Structure 1
Amino acid sequence: MSRIFRRLSSSLRSLSMRLGKSEACNVVVVGLDNSGKSTMINHLQQAKAEDDEPYIPEEVAPTVGFRVETFRRKNVSFTAYDMSGQGRYRNLWAQHYTEIHAIVFVIDATDRMRLCVARDELEMVLDDPSVRSRPVPILFLCNKKDCADAMGPAECVAKMELEKIRERPWSIISTNARNGDGIEEAIEWLADSISFDSSSASIESKHK
């Protein structure tokens, strides 16, 4: 019976998306300060307006606490909780774990010195009961790919020990949040990976 229900739920979701009905999705965006979280969301905000004017990135002030932004892709209406990466605010990340469908973890690909800190923060995210109990997908953005000293996805996977993640779907994509390179591909993966019915969530680990 549960298998029939899952198939019916999936079919209804596909039908609703074809008919133009959007799904609502909550995403928490985390990572250390200066990794590019707010710049990435600002790009998505700018792109959703579909202006003819090119997007010219501005300097982004560090987020204090968190901010909430919305955007839409592939018939999915995203509400993004852009969480501050500053040390004194990281304890706020967990406040939103119970209401999310996915996690976006932004990695500064040029910051090798603090990669161990990012790894420790990721472990705390994965160990949180609200995350551990549900196979919500995690999208890793290996950001600042335009910088000459930036790490590639393979190095980030190794140093962040991402191969240990086997209980949930995940992907890592190189991005440049300032000009949007890789952002749309990343959000497309996220939209395709999110389960809106926890009973039918995929637990298969998939990554790039």
Structure 2
Amino acid sequence: MGLFDKLAGWLGLKKEVNVLCLGLDNSGKTTIINKLKPSNAQAQDIVPTIGFSIEKFKTSSLSFTVFDMSGQGRYRNLWEHYYKEGQAIIFVIDSADKLRMVVAKEELDTLLNHPDIKHRRIPILFFANKMDVRDALSSVKVSQLLCLENIKDKPWHICATDALKGDGLQEGVDWLQGMIRVCIKESGRHFVYYKVWNTSLHFTHILMSVKIM
């Protein structure tokens, strides 16, 4: 059973959950998304996204549509079109890529200051990924470099993760469930977006749409 199966069971029937994941290349984003799928839908080999790809898969209770877009400049203006429907964000950081941490910080600031995000109380889950890599920064250090303590108007949580093993992902999903409950109660809608950022020079964009049958 995948981590989203648990989320689906908690939300109940006839609800839809859309998952938006953004990230710099080589961050482990695709690996994380793969681990969040039901076990029978997980790919054995993870291949870096080139250009644009669409993936669809189903379980007994879920229907997924994943849009994976390259971070080329001509695609980046598409990201903001999904912000208005977003009720939650997953932001993934490559903890082993110290040189590009500043890029992640700049992009996070841009996201937080976007008019469709800035004045909304959107929960943000941070995955400090690649903790299996030698000399990777701790989640505490990542939090400091991204100045997460300055996020005062949105609930946030950071988890140290090893996407290859799946370590830390369950903790994040458990936390996010509580935040989704608040979002649904406050908005009365059934759409949730997660965002993933990684620390490489190029971005990729994933929109995962999850429909609970």
- If the length of structure 1 is used for normalisation, what is the TM-score? 0.71
Distance 1:40 1:69, change over 3 A: farther
Alignment partners' CA distance in 1, 2:76 and 2:116: 16
1:85–1:123 CA distance, 2 compared to 1 (3 A): farther
Contact 2:95 2:142 in 1 (8 A): yes
2:184: which partner in 1? 196
Percentage of matched positions with identical amino acids? 36
1:21 paired with 2:7, answer no
Aligned length: 176
1:112-191 equivalences under 5 Å are: 112-191=98-177
Give CA deviations for 1:81-104 in whole Å, capped at 9, x if unaligned.
665473524333212111112111
Q: Distance in 1 between matches of 2:81 and 2:11?
A: 34
- Preserved contact between residue 152 and residue 174 of structure 1 (Cα < 8 Å): yes
Pick the aligned partner of 1:30 from 22, 33, 37.
Answer: 22
Q: Please state how far the C-alpha of 1:193 moved relative to its aligned partner.
A: 0.9
Task: Quote the offset at 1:137 in angstroms.
Answer: 0.7
Q: Which residue of 1 aligns with 2:78?
A: 92
More helix, by proportion? 1
Preserved CA contact (<8 Å) 2:49 2:68: no
The separation in 2 between residues aligned to 1:140 and 1:71, in whole angstroms, is 26
Q: In the alignment, residue 47 of structure 2 is paired with which amino acid?
A: V
Cα distance in 2 between the residues matched to 1:115 and 1:164? 17
Deviation by residue 1:48-98 (Cα, 9 ceiling, x = unmatched): x4x8xxx774232225357566789xx9x7968665473524333212111
Q: SS at 2:84's partner residue?
A: helix
The structure with higher relative contact order (CA 8 Å, sep 6+) is 2
Deviations 1:86-141 (A, max 9, x none): 35243332121111121111100011111111111111111111111321111110
Superposed counterparts of 1:100-115, under 5 Å: 100-115=86-101
2:195 counterpart residue number: none
Q: Counterpart amino acid of 1:174?
A: A
Contiguous gaps of at least 5 residues in structure 1? 1-16, 201-208
Matching residue's letter, 1:61: P
Deviation at 1:186, TM superposition (A): 1.1
Change in CA separation of 1:113 and 1:18 when aligned onto 2, cut-off 3 Å? closer
Q: CA deviation at 1:31?
A: 2.3
Matches of 1:59 and 1:193 in 2, distance apart? Answer: 30
TM-score (normalised: structure 2): 0.69
Q: Residues 190 and 146 of structure 1: is their aligned pair in 2 closer, same or farther, counting only changes over 3 Å?
A: same
TM-fit CA distance, 1:24 = 2.7
Structure 2: distance between partners of 1:167 and 1:67 = 34
Residue type at the aligned position of 1:178? L
